[in-house]
Structure 1
Amino acid sequence: MRIKFIPLILITIVLFSCSNTISTTKKTYKVSQTTPLKKEWHFTANEWHLQQDTLTGNGGPMHWGVIESKKQLPKNYEINFKVNMTKESLFEVMLNIDKKNYIRTYLYQIDQNIVIGRGVYNKNSDEYGKRGGLTVFRKPMKLENNKWYSVKIKVSNNQLYFSVDDKTTLECSLEKSDLSQKGKLGFITNGEAKITDLSIQSIQ
């Protein structure tokens, strides 16, 4: 009887290993030293690196440091992590990257806001207008360097929920706001940002 179950187990393993999404309902994706970064992410070595369980990004005002997942985000997902902007003013989570379009969810120190926006990212250009984009929603929040912030992002049934420290929250409908409804995940910094406790989970 046990022999009959072996092919089923093997098929299940293959399906999960070949999945085109960054996480599944049965597996939460976490960044750790045991998982080679290059296996799951596109990035430039001098811009992003992993040390122990901390992902550090480096960029500048004229060239933002970007890292992008190789796999798609699930249709419904939850992302949790802590971030510290150790230098400069911008840290951005790129959601549902689809070709050049994505959703901007970011912390911006200059305006002292958390923001949801409509983004454009051209990998081959740092020209104005070929990265970043328009603000759709914003909410004031005191933001500063060298401080850890807990971020939660959830997309469920095309509804986006973006929260920082469980006290400042933005919500919107992807469809009504004309925001990208599928795609990959990425992070951007215009200085130095540290990310820890990153987990990405598919939800029902």
Structure 2
Amino acid sequence: MKIKYLALLVFPLIITSGCGTISTTKKEYKISQNSTLKSEWTSNSKEWLLQADTLKGIGGPMHWGVIESKKKLPENYEIDFKVNLIKESLFEVMLNMDKEQYIRTYLYTIDQNIVIGRGVYKKGSDEYEKRGGPTLFKKPIKLENNKWYTVKIRVKNNQLNFSVDNETTLECSLEKSNLSKKGTLGFITNGEVKVTDLTIKSL
């Protein structure tokens, strides 16, 4: 991946005062600095940290590294970022997390698929049945460690679109699939992952 000038990768943050939803005057949210990460997100600082322009997550097969936003996602939104699975097999975006339930959208190198599923996450527990969940939709994709992928997730009018490198795409209806329609955002890894150019946009 070409390294851009640092000035282009710094994440400016302007949060609407008193608002509990990820939104800004420009309808766009980006992580700006470590102080923002600590105040706006819930995580273990040994598992998720911001290094210059890059969000880095560290987990393991028995203990997944999790980070969760304290602000709710808008009803309609678009999430764009680049991700590199440095080690192990799983990187997951947790969408619309509400009362331990969420939508699983993830890259899985073992099965060589991108996946949409129904997830559960019980904080403080590493028990197998208290994290992750069943697959609803999947599509084959060649996934490798130490390679950057461009991810776009779009939720509009209860329709979810999840694409990687603008080539492999999964779609589903939140209503028809009985998936959560509101909640917060999170990330999970069972190894080491890097995320950059993260933008969350209200549509």
Aligned pair count reads 189
- Whether contact under 8 Å (1:108, 1:114) holds in the other structure is yes
Distance (whole Å) between structure 2 residues aligned to residue 81 and residue 52 of structure 1 = 15
Matched, 1:190 2:190: yes
Deviations 1:42-91 (A, max 9, x none): 00010000011100000000000000000000000000000000000000
- Whether contact under 8 Å (2:16, 2:23) holds in the other structure is no
Q: Please give the residue correspondences for 1:28-177 in structure 2 after superposition, counting only pairs within 5 Å.
A: 28-33=28-33, 36-177=36-177
Counterpart in the other structure of 1:26: 26
The structure 1 segments of at least 4 consecutive aligned residues displaced by more than 4 Å after TM superposition are none
Match of 1:174, as an amino acid? L
Distance (whole Å) between structure 2 residues aligned to residue 125 and residue 50 of structure 1 = 24
TM-score by length of 1: 0.90
CA shift, 1:25, in A, is: 6.4
CA shift, 1:20, in A, is: 1.0
Structure 1 unaligned spans of 5+: 1-14
Distance (whole Å) between structure 2 residues aligned to residue 141 and residue 95 of structure 1 = 21
2:151 aligned counterpart, secondary structure:
strand
Structure 2 unaligned spans of 5+: 1-14
Distance (whole Å) between structure 2 residues aligned to residue 168 and residue 200 of structure 1 = 21
How much identity, in percent, do the aligned residues show? 74
2:16 aligned counterpart, secondary structure:
helix
Distance (whole Å) between structure 2 residues aligned to residue 45 and residue 131 of structure 1 = 20
Structure with max Cα Rg: 1
Match of 2:64, as an amino acid? W
Match of 1:53, as an amino acid? D
2:187 aligned counterpart, secondary structure:
strand
Deviations 1:163-187 (A, max 9, x none): 0000000000000001111000000
RMSD: 1.3
